[in-house]
């Protein structure tokens, strides 16, 4: 029995490349492809492959969202995330969710094969480039000290509102957006501000804009 793999990436050319590489192997085969997150989910549920190679950024559902959904449904499919994002928080989240591999799209083709082989043997594979990049940039990339823990204390609704604030929407606009009272939005603002230990006028807006990349 060949090692059954599903691949998902919203760039058809990239998907093509991956498919050819995998199908060139004697011991593996591509049993499904998808161009967006939702299709990826459906394909994986249908096929229950041994491995899914997912792009991080995809329409409908992100690669990580797909991972989360599948893993929460207790299937044994393993995941390799293929991305161009070097950012620590993506990597951290992927590791937390429990992906088995994480590599950059600008890595060599050989690395993808090595990763697949490593994951097939039940081990985790992380691109050495990522590791070195993170160690070099960790000081820079870690700016909001303890932010991760603070962010974890936010409720789902609060996170949504924080994102909308980062888009520099007013309380009224946010209220219209998610169909609640502007007063409630103000309440959430106050709660978020307290949890993030901010103070002063516009402090939340400043924070949201500045760290909108990692929310």
Among 132, 155, 167, 210, binds DNA (CB under 7 A): 155
**60: burial class by Cβ within 10 Å (0-12, 13-18, 19+)?**
middle
Interaction residues for DNA, span 177-206 (CB under 7 A): 178, 180-181, 183-184, 186-190, 193, 198-205
**Least CB distance to DNA at residue 37 (A):** 23
The length of the chain is 215
Smaller CB separation from DNA, 28 or 166: 166
**Least CB distance to DNA at residue 11 (A):** 35
Q: Are 9 and 35 in contact (CB under 8 A)?
A: yes
- Residue 7 to residues 48, 99, 104, 180, Cα–Cα distance (Å): 12, 14, 15, 39
Among 168, 172, 181, 183, binds its own copies (CB under 8 A): 168
- Return d(Cα 104, Cα 111) in angstroms, integer: 9
- Return d(Cα 103, Cα 112) in angstroms, integer: 8
Residues that bind its own copies (CB under 8 A): 10-18, 20-21, 84, 105-109, 112, 168, 170, 201-202, 205-206, 209-210
Q: Which residues are near DNA by CB under 7 A?
A: 155-158, 169-172, 178, 180-181, 183-184, 186-190, 193, 198-205
């Amino acid at each position: 029995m060949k090692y059954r793999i599903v691949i998902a990436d919203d760039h058809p050319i990239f998907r093509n490349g991956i498919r050819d590489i995998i199908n060139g192997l004697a011991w593996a085969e591509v049993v499904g492809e998808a161009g967006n997150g939702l299709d990826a989910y459906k394909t994986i549920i249908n096929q229950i492959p041994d491995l899914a190679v997912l792009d991080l950024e995809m329409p409908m559902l992100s690669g990580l969202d797909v991972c989360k959904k599948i893993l929460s449904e207790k299937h044994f499919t393993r995941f390799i995330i293929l991305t161009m994002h070097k950012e620590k928080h993506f990597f951290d989240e992927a590791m937390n969710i429990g992906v088995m591999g994480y590599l950059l799209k600008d890595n060599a083709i050989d690395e993808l094969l090595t990763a697949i082989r490593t994951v097939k043997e039940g081990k985790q594979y992380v691109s050495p480039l990522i590791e070195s990049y993170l160690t070099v940039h960790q000081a820079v990339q870690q700016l909001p000290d303890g932010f991760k823990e603070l962010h974890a204390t936010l409720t789902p609704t609060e996170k949504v509102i924080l994102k909308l604030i980062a888009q520099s929407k007013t309380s009224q606009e946010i209220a219209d957006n998610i169909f609640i009272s502007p007063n409630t939005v103000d309440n959430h603002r106050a709660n978020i501000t307290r949890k993030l230990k901010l103070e002063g006028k516009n402090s939340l807006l400043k924070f949201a804009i500045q760290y909108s990349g990692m929310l």
